[in-house]
Each structure stands twice: as structure tokens, then as C-alpha cells.
Structure 1
Amino acid sequence: MPRKTLRILCFGNSLTCGFPAGKPYAEKLGEKLEEALLGHGYAEIQYIVEGLPGDLVTRGSFLDRMRNSWKKGSDFYDWTIVLGGTNDLGWGCTVDDIVAGLKRTWDIPLSKGSKVLALTIPDTRARFKDVKERRDEVNAAIKEYRKPNFYYFDLHNAIPYHDMEPSDRPKYWQMDGVHLTEAGYDLMGEKIAGELIKLIRLAEAQDTDISSIVTDARQRQAIEDLIFEEERGNPRLLSQGYIVVRRTDLD
């Protein structure tokens, strides 16, 4: 039976608020989450969009906005999805400063008991060597970060610009090669939702007998495979806070 409301904070800059299409990815995210989760443990899906075009992680209002999002005691989000750093790269900010700003931002919801899904900085049409190198370094730092309740999703890999068929780019990307079209933000929301659904089901499966929450044999096997993958040490799925040691490794 449905038992609770799932609340999600979608936090970031223009790519979070859906600029300039006026269609945040959270709309498709919410739609996909409802399809997958309503009636399966959740009675309602709520999302809040907190995105400010042009904001910087390093010296903008990013950190203050995150603090404000968590200021009221009644405002609790089960998940906080964070995307930032694109503008900082454009302004020439250093990798260390960007990563430090992101960590300070993540730590606010983590300290409140929320789970964080950090998104890597997505691809753009521009191929300046310096920007690409710094983006790769920031994204590597996001993937390597370890903290309880912290997860990441590789948005850069999920929606590539240069690895996409040239004929498909106008459908998903604005002419500036940085922002997305309505279809692009829908694709973004769908990709993020897919990852979030996996993580939510994985967490439930670890706390509950899988057969009691998943009756479909293929879904049950998929979740068991995810758990096994986590125990092998996939850093994207690893639930921090414990270490799995196989008996054969101790012999």
C-alpha cells in the first residue's frame, strides 16, 4: 500500500530551471517517478525546482540558495539533485575551487539527512581544450567523492553533444550548444529519473525481502544484480558506511 510522500529538491543553475525553453527537467522526472513509484510504496511525488541562470558554485549565490532551501524546519527533501559548475568553467574558475564549492553545497542536505544525487557537468558544443580538461577533472572528482547518502549520475555521459548523431542535435540542444530544448530537458529528466528509480529500489531491496516488494521475476533479478554489483565495489552504486569483504578474500 502507498505509505509516504517522496520529496525531491532539484537544485542548480539554468540547466536546472530549464532555461531558455521554460521547461525544467523536473517535469519529466516527476512524471517518470510517478509512473514507477506511485502505488508501489509512495502515495505522492513532490518536486521543487531551485535553479538560477548564470549562478556560480564558486562565488555566486549557490551556497546561500542551498542554505535557504533547507532553512525552514518543515522543508525536508528525501533527495537533493545538484547540478553546478558549467558557469564556473566558463569564467575560468579552478578545478579545486569548483570542487570545494560543490562539496560545501552537497554537505548542507547531507547534514540534514537527505540523500544527494550529484550530476556531472554536461557536455557542450565548444571544445576549448582548457575547459574540457577542467570539466573532466571536476567530473572525476564528483565520481570519486565518498560520503554516506551521496550518489552521482554521469549526466555528461548520458546526454553527449559530440557523440550524438549530428542530425539529432537540433532536437535536443539550443543553438548555443550549452542549453537544451524542451525535448532535451525531457530527455534529461528521463535519464535522471531512471537512475533515481534504480537507487530508490536498491535501497528498499537492501532493507526488505526483495520478493515482498517486487513480484516480477525479471525486475527482482535486476535488483539482485544491482546489489551484487554494489558488493563488488561499483563506486556509482556503493552505499557508503560499510565495506563488504568476501570470505575468499580473507582465506
Structure 2
Amino acid sequence: MKDFNLQNAFKAEKMVLIFAGFYPSRYGKKNALLMLSAIVNISITLIQYSSMLIFIFSNLSDIIKISEVLLYFMTATSFICKLVNIILQNENLLKIEEMLQNSLFTKVSIEEEYILKHYIQNGRLSTNIFKVLTALAASFYVVFPLIDGDSNVKKFSLLSWYPFDQNNYYYEVFLFQAISIIIVAWFESFIEILFIIMMVLSRAQFEILKHRLTRIVKHTKENEEGEDDELVQKRLRRCIIHYNYVLRFVLHIYLLPTHYL
């Protein structure tokens, strides 16, 4: 049996969300900086969100403009809901991390290690494709005003209301909106990927459990009758404990509201 660090499966997403200030951190003195990072990211998102909300109510008679705003507005709404939920579920996330360090999950044979790597690699492939598509979508959102239509007309990535003339501060507003789009796209995708990987890990644990159940009784050429009942019962008991532990792990993922948004 060898140790397998399951937390490495979502290490990148975890670190990004930690430095964004959204994921529970154990960095001690750096918590103030992480909190500042969270305040900056949330403030930018909420300011842009509020400006779009005001724009919608100011242009209720223009269905075309409202439709254009809602295209991004719903994505921003989803991100804000997920962000609130992940902050509220910080303790649950730490509990999930603690469960992933249990020997029932980490102590694996060579065959079980292969099962874990297989599921994680397949999961990472899907999430990497998701990252690329998200990055492309965000990039097009940012650069579209620069390549669309008349170059003499100042266009913005998002239709929004500001208490000043946007054209007088074109580059500042354009940069602010670009940062807002990147924050929403980048961090929302990482939150999604975090829970996708957790579900992949739970699926892999059920596969490992199935693997162990098929090997409760080991037959050899020297011992065709198999092993004694006490040893078999010990393995079966461990499988039952493992099964209950996986169910608890899945329940903690299920309790994360972000999983459904």
C-alpha cells in the first residue's frame, strides 16, 4: 500500500481561489492580504453588476439593449451566488479536505492508484477544455468592441450606467469592465472545476471500493479453498467502513449549494 495525495487533484484551483480570498486559508499572517484581495475582487464585481442593473431599469422600453445586457448579467448573477455560497461553506470545505486525508482514501494499492490516476486525468482533461473555452469566451467579450463596426465610435464590452460620461473616460471604463469580465469568468470557472474534481474523486472511490470487494477472498494455487473467515470478515468490515465514509464525503459535497448553481 502507498500514500496518494488526493488534494493535488484540485491544487491549482484551490491556490487560485485562496489568493483571490474566496477559499478558506491557513496562511495566518497573510489572511489580511487575502481578505483585501477578496474585497477588491468582490467590489469590482458588485460595482459592475450594480451599474448593469441600473442600466436595465433605465432602459426597460428597449428590449434589444436589455437582451444584450442580460446575456452577461445572468452569468454575473450566477457567479455572485456561487461566491456567497462558497464563502458560507468555508467550514464544509475544510471538512472535505480533512476527509480526503483519511487513510481509507489515501492508502491504495498499485491497481487502486491506477484507478485514481485514470479518473483524475479524465477529469482534468474535461476541466482543461472548460478553462480554454471560458478564456476564449471572456477574451471575445473584451476585444469585441475593438473590432466591431466603426473604429471612430467608442464601444464598451458591457452596456452599463455610470454617474459620468463614459466617453470621457473611455480607457478607464474599458479597463474596468475588462477586469470585471476576467474576474467573473476566471473565478467562476475555478469554482465549478473545484466541485467537478471533488465529484470525480468520489466516483473514483466507489470504483476502488468495487475493486476491493472483488478481492475480499483471495484464491491461490497453494490454497484453492481461499483464506480463513476471520481475514475475509476483516476485509469486508473495512469495505463497509469505506463505503460509509464515501457516502459521508458525497454528502458534504451535496451540502455545498454551489454544486447546484
TM-score range, shorter chain: under 0.3
Identify, as 1 or 2, the structure richer in strand: 1
Give the TM-score taking structure 2 as reference length. 0.27
Identify, as 1 or 2, the structure richer in helix: 2
Q: Select the structure with the greater relative contact order (CA < 8 A; seq sep ≥ 6).
A: 2
